[in-house]
Chain A
Amino acid sequence: MKLQNYTLRYLAITLLLVIPIWAGIFYVLILDEVYDNIDDDLKNSKIIIVRHAFANKELLNSPEFGINKFTIKPLPKGQYSHKEEFSTLKEFMEYDNDNEPIRTLKTVFDDDKGNSYELIIKASIVEEDELLEDLFLALIGLYVMLVISILLVNRLLLKRIWKSFHVILDNLKEIKLGTGSKLKPINSSIDEFIILEKEVEKMLTRNEMLYASQKQFIENASHELQTPLAISINKLELFAENNILPDEQMMELGKITDTLNRLTKLNKSLLMLSKIENQQFSEEKNINFNELVLLLVEDYADLSDYKKVKITVTQNDSLHFMINKGLAIALISNLLKNAIIHNHPNGFVNFIINKNDIIISNSANNSPLNPEVIFNRFYRHTTTNESTGLGLSIVKSIINNYSITIEYLFTKNHQFKIIFPKK
């Protein structure tokens, strides 16, 4: 969920809770004030009516509500409480054709002769249900308007404020170590974003340096290893030639040489990887992959015959791509070699060449490989200690250099699909 929607969701939920609570309190307070007001008014009317009644004795006998909003009834002699009693009741109102609430004040007063009279004054008051209804509608309106305005503010204002943040995010997505990619400037006046940008840039520079020095180290180490390896291998070769040793010792000598040869292979593969990643294979040519595949299949014929693996090539289209020739050969031959070696007698390797992709599938005894790890350096599926575990890493770093993608699928057979970018 995006940041702006995230805040909006919480604001909407909070408002949905806060507004009814506020409305409840507001309603109670308003109603209280209204009643208070009406009651004051009734009390005021009482004073005026009583004053008029003293002046105009006729008023003392008005038992019906007429145009007047009050009744005065003489009471039999006796002691009465002079307290003012308020009550709310419903009365039919012709205009509305409905019962409407009214407020009444009931009290007793004495005239100058000491006779008691009962006075009832009424006043129409607010219709609570209608008030509630109106209030409810108004609040829904308020709520919708609030949410819409927050949404708009979010959209317009926050989008502008967070623009720099999104630039930083895009920058982070684009970063590919070792390519010397530069960060786009954000031009923000917000301190936090400026700090973020600075820190990201520092981190990138630091990582670039680490990456470069790591690459440099691998390359230097591999170079430096070549000479001692050469000396060891050559001394052993000379020793094997010069000395007539018993067979078992010659065997041991052979094993040492084999191990050194393996080390040499490993070292060369590492060097190759560094060079690919340092983009030292710059010369590109338009390579016809159909010809290349056929040539390599022929090159590997001895090995495939020996392993009793049948190789077929299906050419549905011709595939050309601008790439360094050595890397094109390394790309195809690494996959081909794996397909031949990790196979079984009477198995097969199939090449299918389409306009924009090459599919290499091979029969195998083993189960699917884990596509997450097979391209990692030194990952080995089998325990054959002769493999360097770098073949597929080399494949991966070649395709990374050329925006080519590779997919691994397992449907009874292992299948690698090399997808070339469309021109």
Chain B
Amino acid sequence: MFPETEVYFELVFLHLKYIKQARMKILIIEDEAGLREVVQQSLEKEKYIVETAHDYISGLDKLGAYDYDCILIDIMLPNGNGLDLLQELKRQKKQSAVIIISAKDAVDDKVKGLDLGADDYLSKPFHLSELHARIKSAIRRNNHNGDNLIVYKNVTLSPEQRTVAIDNKELILNRKEFDLLYYFIINPNRLINKTAIAEYVWGDHTDQADNLDFVYSQIKNLRKKLKESDAEIDIQAVYGIGYKMN
């Protein structure tokens, strides 16, 4: 079995339109070398083709020369502003999904970015699992003419309908359980930090000492439901860090 197979299948179902070009291209425009590298490595693990730019000018060059499925833009760049790059992109009528990344977490920047046509806004620091989730949904939304079902093994999930089917039999989940499953499905085989899970599903409600137990007790219910309906996926605890679905 090729290691890519799972990812391959996932992407096939995510974007039926792109079957022939399953490996998507992502551009990272970020001036901090450390962050650029770690994001690049993480994305390459997911079989994305990743290119990087370290400032406004090199970002502008790459934007104009190639088409990307998704572009990550840091707002504050040497010799320019990321929002201007976004404007340039829209001017060139490029179809890429765009995620703004900023250390500022300022409401103004967020509103401005989204107004200029960014698909999402992510403030630093973020969890890699969160970044992957955002990239996937941004690409999915950007290609809205595709079939939006996410299929992994015998589990089919519809983010729009918020429904889950296992072997075509519907599995009833409550809102939080659905969010949990969605996060795992969109990050298959990835070790997800428990804080990332808690933040994704419950916001910043749970920054307290019993974070671990709390997330565990919520995941326990989901696991039980998945097992009862013979899902071919299972969520495993990686002690001390978080969880992994395979």
**Chain B residues with CB under 8 A of A250:** 238-241
**Chain A residues with CB under 8 A of B203:** 299
**Chain A residues with CB under 8 A of B202:** 299, 302-303
Instruction: Tell which of B123, B211, B213 touches A226, judged by Cβ atoms closer than 8 Å.
Output: B123
Asked if A265 is at the interface (CB within 8 A of a chain B CB), the reply is: yes
Chain B interface, number of residues (Cβ within 8 angstroms): 44
Is B241 a contact of A253 with CB atoms below 8 Å? yes
Asked if A240 is at the interface (CB within 8 A of a chain B CB), the reply is: yes
Is B207 a contact of A386 with CB atoms below 8 Å? yes
Asked if B214 is at the interface (CB within 8 A of a chain A CB), the reply is: yes
With A and B bound together, what is the CA distance between A179 and B198 in angstroms? Answer: 37
Asked if B176 is at the interface (CB within 8 A of a chain A CB), the reply is: yes
Stretch at the interface among B4-12, B37-45, B55-63, B162-170: B37-45
**Chain A residues with CB under 8 A of B42:** 234, 237-238
Is A230 a contact of B208 with CB atoms below 8 Å? no
Those of A303-319 within 8 Å (CB) of chain B: 303, 306-307
Is B240 a contact of A251 with CB atoms below 8 Å? yes
Chain A, residues 6-17, CB within 8 Å of chain B (1/0): the string is 000000000000
Instruction: Tell which of B191, B205, B210 touches A237, judged by Cβ atoms closer than 8 Å.
Output: B191
Asked if A227 is at the interface (CB within 8 A of a chain B CB), the reply is: yes
Asked if A337 is at the interface (CB within 8 A of a chain B CB), the reply is: yes
Is A238 a contact of B38 with CB atoms below 8 Å? yes
Those of A186-241 within 8 Å (CB) of chain B: 223-224, 226-235, 237-238, 240-241
Chain A interface, number of residues (Cβ within 8 angstroms): 49
Is B35 a contact of A233 with CB atoms below 8 Å? no
CB-CB nearest in chain B for A385: B209
Is B240 a contact of A230 with CB atoms below 8 Å? no
CB-CB nearest in chain A for B206: A303
**Chain B residues with CB under 8 A of A302:** 176, 202, 214, 218
CB-CB nearest in chain A for B74: A227
**Chain A residues with CB under 8 A of B34:** 228, 231, 235
Is B125 a contact of A226 with CB atoms below 8 Å? yes
With A and B bound together, what is the CA distance between A258 and B203 in angstroms? Answer: 16
With A and B bound together, what is the CA distance between A247 and B236 in angstroms? Answer: 14
With A and B bound together, what is the CA distance between A2 and B238 in angstroms? Answer: 71
With A and B bound together, what is the CA distance between A353 and B176 in angstroms? Answer: 28
Residues of chain A at the chain B interface (Cβ within 8 Å):
223-224, 226-235, 237-238, 240-241, 247, 250-255, 257-258, 261-262, 264-265, 268, 271, 275, 280-281, 299-300, 302-303, 306-307, 326, 333, 337, 341, 384-388
Residues of chain B at the chain A interface (Cβ within 8 Å):
32, 34-35, 38-39, 41-42, 45, 103-107, 123-129, 176, 190-191, 193, 195, 202-211, 213-214, 217-218, 238-242
- 23 A-B pairs with C-beta separation under 8 A: A227-B125, A228-B34, A231-B34, A234-B38, A234-B39, A235-B34, A237-B42, A237-B127, A240-B241, A241-B190, A250-B238, A254-B241, A255-B240, A302-B214, A302-B218, A303-B202, A303-B214, A306-B210, A306-B217, A337-B208, A384-B209, A386-B207, A386-B211
